[in-house]
Amino acid sequence: MLTNTYLPHVGGVAHSVSAFGDEYRKLGHKVLVIAPEFAQKITGEEHVLRIPAIQNFNGTDFSMALPFSGVLNEALDEFRPDIIHAHHPFLLGLTALRISRERELPLVFTHHTLYEHYTHNLLANSQVLKRFVVEVATRYANKATLVLAPSLSIVKLLRQRGVQTPIAEVPTGVRPEQYIHGCGDKIRRQFGIPPTAFVLGHLGRFGQEKNLIFLCRAVATFLQEQPAAHFILAGSGPMENELQQFFLDRNLISRVHMPGKVIGNARQDIYSAMDTFLFSSTTETQGLVLSEAMASGVPVIALEANGTRDMLRQCLNGRLVAKETLTDFTAAIRWLHELLPIHRRALIAEARSTAKDFSMQSCAQRALDLYLPLVRYSWPLDNSIYARCIRKGKLISTQWEIFEGFTEAAGAALNQSDRL
């Protein structure tokens, strides 16, 4: 599996690649993850090949992998993959395409991200650039053998954008059993939150694309109305200082708790300390944290968008807010806060039931079932001189294919910059 983001980076794609890889290995399969180096090293890391990378690209917390690595071919010769699985259409995604063409292996591509919402991380940001990344991702998907999408809404969107390759819905799963025994009381004691206080919560990456200022404005309105309420804002990212200053400016920081990056068992405890999980991003393809919150028995309030509408059942496991207005979002928070205990318990039970539908084991098995027919049609690697020459020719052809695809995408973006 080739990915531009991986542990220790905080994000949905990094978590998804790690979770699927772990589950595949539990089921007896071999998985090699090819990912960029990060400034923070993981000691004793196994089953991962790190590629040299530019750290903190353009002032972000991302690493940009360099396109070629001398150790990659040797590692692949030793590993002998049956499937090449790309998790991005750029950078190492292009390396995945070259590997699949040169070694005559099936290429699977998971379309995790709506890339047009992340162009602010680049050197420029415009409608033309947004359309360009959409065109590149669509053309890349059409070069793959199979495309995986995290939700049905993304399957439909990719079809609308012109993806002809077979597409299957395979969400990233959770392990519900890990979230049953979270100790929210411990977190409340740690932050000085009374046991009876109503606690709003959010956990995730603090990036511009997550629409967190909107969320914080709604939270601030509610905190001002309810002087006993608290807010747990867990995570890290480039907006961390800005979000902290937001609540300082409104004299609310004493009831806003920012524990930073939360990993491992601590996530279970953080979720369990919440009475509702708030989610304002409209750029997600699934929203894995929604599954984690629900597995912890926490009802969700979220803006209606791709991914959220596939998971939330209106007034059963939470609330979908159709309009992105502070009035509507704050009203949804008030609705949950004012529910009778018996109705809130029904929400909690339904949230846990929803999470069971997204178990990691069933999602991984779904992906493996889709891999199987592709492996049957793969070719054995021939290391004869003639075969190596043929593969080199295919590699050159693939380089031209990549160049041609980018040129076509740029032309389409310039001609259709008003369409997204």
* pLDDT over threshold 80, residue 64: no
Sequence-ordered list of residues with C-beta below 8 angstroms from that of 13, at least 6 positions apart, any chain: 3, 4, 5, 87, 88, 112, 113
Residue 419 predicted with pLDDT over 60: no
pLDDT for residue 390: 59
> Tokens 């602010």 — which residue?
120
Residue-wise pLDDT for 202-259, tens only, equals 999 898 889 999 999 999 999 999 999 999 999 999 999 999 999 999 999 999 999 9
- Which domains does the chain carry? 12-173+361-415 (3.40.50.2000), 176-358 (3.40.50.2000)
Tokens (6 digits) for 227: 């002087």
pLDDT value of residue 229: 98
Q: Which helix (H) or strand (E) holds 136?
A: helix 127-143
Residue 55 pLDDT greater than 70, yes or no: no
pLDDT exceeds cutoff 70 at 122: no
Alpha helices, DSSP H, located in 144-169: 152-160
Least confident stretch, 48-52, 242-246, 394-398? 394-398
* 8-state DSSP, 233: E
Global pTM? 0.81
Q: How far apart are CA 25 and CA 37, in angstroms?
A: 22
372 has pLDDT over 70: yes
Q: Which of 36-40, 369-373, 388-392 has the lowest mean pLDDT?
A: 388-392
pLDDT at 67: 60
The rounded distance, in Å, linking the Cα atoms of 377 and 356 is: 34
Q: What is the tens place of the pLDDT at every residue in 263-291?
A: 888 999 999 999 999 999 998 888 789 99
Q: Reply yes or no on whether the pLDDT at 166 is more than 90.
A: yes
Residue 399: pLDDT above 70?
no
Lowest mean pLDDT among 40-49, 52-61, 248-257: 52-61
Distances (CA, A) of 15 to 44, 275, 358, 367: 18, 24, 15, 16
Predicted pLDDT of residue 218: 98
Mean pLDDT of 69-92: 90
End-to-end CA distance of the chain: give it in Å, rounded.
29
Q: What is the mean pLDDT of the chain?
A: 88
Interval 15-28: pLDDT, tens: 899 999 999 999 99
